Amino acid sequence: MTGTIALFTDGADWHAARLERAIARRGYECRRVPLNACGFAVGRTESGLLLPGFGDALPSGALVRVVGQGSFEQVTLRLGVLHALGRLGVPVYNSARAIECCVDKCTTSFLLARAGIPTPPAVAVQSPELARAAVESWPDCVLKPLFGAQGRGLRRLSGPADVPEPEAMAGVYYLQPFVPPCREGAWCDCRIFVVGGRAVAAMIRHGRSWITNIHQGASCEALAPDGAVADLAVRAAAAVGADYAGVDLIASPGSSGGSSGQWLVLEVNSMPAWQGLQTVSDIDIADALAGDFLRRVDAAASAGQR
């Protein structure tokens, strides 16, 4: 089957270009659409939506690469557009609900724990007093921005006096106990890339410090996407309802990093980058994403859902 795909992205980045080529190879037209240019036009367009480049038509499917930064109101509107597309029968990959569950770190922690997936304890509160009480019980803990990404804004706190004022954290304190490395100075964790319920690529990230994101200077080492880490990553993606995800795991203290139960899921990313991961992976990650996504688009079209 053929059709036109909306690739929601901000500009011509490396990831968008690879996805566009992978989609085109399968006979679909791909149009890049920034979500910040989309909106609603109830009573003015047949769909009730404003989608640049589509007029009154709907895309055959929508692949979300980037929602983009913005105010709470702007992001709410963009997610509303994704929700609306899903209501109209357009396959949206990842869905607005999955993105919401992953962007909000405390919701991710809640869903992982409810699914029985090992993850560090977490506290999310809105007052510095409650945050200080949590830090008092966890004298070495990590404070994360609720909507942060790529290691930006992480703080390691050693006592209640380190808790910043609410303005510095947008009024929300998301705290987890610090997970020390298995060996002194060996700052590393794993990123597993899950597509369609299968781990397709993986790497170990070696950090210069306890923050191990590639954008913060970490190096990557190839890891086979199988075993305990792959199983946990697949379960974690399912727990938040993600079609695809980058799942971050860390070995708990004293573990050898091998058997089940010795790994903790730190985070599930619904719009993961994979440029660093691609350098140590044999599989073409964009091609794997396009293949799974378009199978869903074809299945929806065959079932007459739209």
The residue extents of the domains of the chain are: 4-94+287-302, 123-177, 183-270
Q: Where are the beta strands (DSSP E) in 122-197?
A: 123-125, 141-144, 155-157, 173-177, 188-195
Least confident of 79-83, 156-160, 291-295: 156-160
Region 229-244: mean pLDDT is 98
- State the pairing for strand pair 29-33/4-8: parallel
Q: Nearest CA to 143 among 240, 158, 129? A: 158
123-177 and 183-270 agree in CATH topology: no
pLDDT above 70 coverage of the chain, percent? 90
The yes-or-no verdict on residue 215 having pLDDT over 90 is no
CATH 3.40.190.10 is right for the domain spanning 123-177: no
Which carries the bigger pLDDT value, residue 55 or residue 234? Answer: 234
Region 21-32: mean pLDDT is 97
Q: Please give the pLDDT value at position 297.
A: 97
Indicate the pLDDT class of residue 62, thresholds 50, 70 and 90: very high
Indicate the pLDDT class of residue 151, thresholds 50, 70 and 90: low
Region 11-30: mean pLDDT is 94
Indicate the pLDDT class of residue 152, thresholds 50, 70 and 90: low
The yes-or-no verdict on residue 179 having pLDDT over 80 is yes
Burial call 254-284: b when 16+ CB within 10 Å, e when fewer: eeebeeeebbbbbbbbbbbbbebbbeebeeb
User: What does pTM read for this prediction?
Assistant: 0.90
Q: Please give the pLDDT value at position 183.
A: 65
Q: Please give the pLDDT value at position 170.
A: 87
Residue 268 is classified by DSSP as: E
Could you say which architecture CATH assigns to the domain 4-94+287-302? 3-Layer(aba) Sandwich (3.40)
The yes-or-no verdict on residue 35 having pLDDT over 90 is yes
Region 82-111: mean pLDDT is 96
Q: Please give the pLDDT value at position 218.
A: 73
Residue 212 is classified by DSSP as: -
The yes-or-no verdict on residue 282 having pLDDT over 50 is yes
Angstrom distance (rounded) from CA 18 to CA 14 = 6
Question: Could you tell me what percentage of the chain is helix, strand and coil, using 3-state DSSP and rounding each to the nearest 5?
Answer: 35, 25, 45
The yes-or-no verdict on residue 269 having pLDDT over 90 is yes
Q: Nearest CA to 260 among 224, 228, 218? A: 228
The yes-or-no verdict on residue 256 having pLDDT over 70 is no
Region 194-221: mean pLDDT is 82
Which CATH number applies to 183-270?
A: 3.30.470.20
Which carries the bigger pLDDT value, residue 145 or residue 233? Answer: 233
Q: Which amino acid is at 235?
A: R
CB 225 within 8 A of CB 202: yes
Cβ-based burial of 214 (10 A; exposed 0-12, middle 13-18, buried ≥19): buried
Of all helices (H) and strands (E), which one includes residue 305? none
pLDDT above 90 coverage of the chain, percent? 73
Q: Please give the pLDDT value at position 212.
A: 67
Hey, what are 16's tokens? 């968008």
CA 150 to the chain's CA centroid: 11
- Please provide the average confidence, as pLDDT, over all residues in the chain: 90
Q: Please give the pLDDT value at position 258.
A: 42
